[in-house]
Amino acid sequence: MLKIGILGGGQLGRMLLQAAANYPVITHVMENDPDCPAAHLCHQFVRGDIRNFDDVCRFGRGLDGVCIEIESVNVEALEKLESDGVRVYPSPSALRILRDKILQKQFYKEHDIPTSPFLITQNRQELKKQDTFLPAVHKIASGGYDGRGVQLISNPGDLDKGFDHPSVLEKKVDIHKEISQIVAMSRNGQTALYPAVEMIFDPVLNQLDYQLSPAEIPQQMLWRVEAIALKVVKDLKTPGIFAVELFISTNGGVLVNETAPRVHNSGHHTIEANYSSQFDMLWRVVLDYPLGNPKHIMPAAMINLVGREGYSGEVHYEGLDEILKMENAFLHLYGKKETRSGRKMGHVTLLSTDKSDLVYKARTIRKQLQIISKQPEKII
């Protein structure tokens, strides 16, 4: 049986392992925390730092393949493993491009992939000269995630808020919709495209409210989204699974925002809503099997369950019964012992052919489920 390693032991690793149980594969996971969500579902858990060259080399030696569940891994070690014959998904050369927002934007430009116009700033001094480029969004080249490392610079007065590190300054897009298009590519170049997903944001909290699959956009535009996402993956020239995030602008343009070379939050619903989930699909790629069917069985909504603001410590869930009573609601808790403000603790997938039913249930879950600790956070 092939031995495959996963770098990172969070919820994405956990759901990959749940899918791995259906295949002839021995799974290894490396992560610092022996109590992480993926630690108890793999055959072999290795405690180590995924950012450390020696740890990653030691972990990968003797494995047939390695995949990632987070981009912040030691890419030099992956290059070494690849040259020693270990298959790495995605290829380290593609990972090098995608984990750096400067290289990623340059890649889109070089390959004629539509993306918002941008320039590069090395420090705040350089940023401050760019007042004619506004309104724009400043994005730190590496180390940002989930919106941290992204700063809206609307007018010259905001320039002080920018980053004093190498960053991308890109034109602000008037966004109509935010879309994610998941694409898988096998080692022989076969591809599979999932129905595009639409993110719905809470206008008051300015955070992701829920996701809908399939996205509600006109067919012509869907084809454009698919064609652009397919080009991104083909031009990256690496097997794996990819979430291409795109903006549809108010004037009808389709622009790539960023690409994640791994299973992704925007594909959680595929476990129940699609014939082959994103996790199942990645195993097919990694184990060199034919790709699965990405089509949806039923339309779906997905709601992230995050730790409530102001609470940290041992997790306590309120309102689980209400969710479990709902027809076609599928609960996933990630097994994290401690909650923190905004920490992703689980998700719920809803299936229904009736969109208003999905939206109503998604909103109900957001209101009723509380993820808290017994003691509120102490304000010091």
The nearer residue to ligand ADP, 86 or 168, going by C-beta atoms, is 168
- Residue number, 256 or 351, with CB nearest to ligand ADP: 256
Q: Of all helices (H) and strands (E), which one includes residue 19? A: helix 11-20
84-105 burial, b for 16+ CB within 10 Å, e for fewer?
Answer: eebbbbbbbebbbbbbbbbebb
Closest approach, Cβ 183 to ligand ADP, in A, equals: 17
Q: Between residues 262 and 284, which has the closer beta carbon with respect to ligand ADP? A: 262
The residue number with the shortest CB distance to ligand ADP is: 173
Contacts of 267 (CB under 8 A, 6+ apart): 180, 182, 194, 197, 243, 277, 278
**Binding-site ranges for ligand ADP (CB under 6 A):** 116, 137, 139, 144-147, 149-150, 170, 172-173, 175, 178, 257-258
CB of 145 to ligand ADP, least distance (A): 5
Cβ nearer to ligand ADP, comparing 52 with 249:
249
d(CA 19, CA 323): 24
Smallest distance from the beta carbon of 262 to ligand ADP, in angstroms?
Answer: 13
Q: Which two tokens stand for residue 204?
A: 């008051």
- Mention every residue, 6+ apart, whose C-beta is less than 8 A from residue 39: 9, 29, 31, 33, 45
| Minimum distance from residue 45 beta carbon to ligand ADP (Å) | 28
CB of 137 to ligand ADP, least distance (A): 4
* Identity of residue 354: D
Nearer to ligand ADP, 2 or 150 (CB): 150
What CA–CA distances, in Å, run from 237 to 38, 81, 168, 230? 29, 18, 24, 11
Specify the residue, 94 or 315, whose C-beta has the smaller distance to ligand ADP: 94
Q: How far is the CB of 118 from ligand ADP (least distance, A)?
A: 8
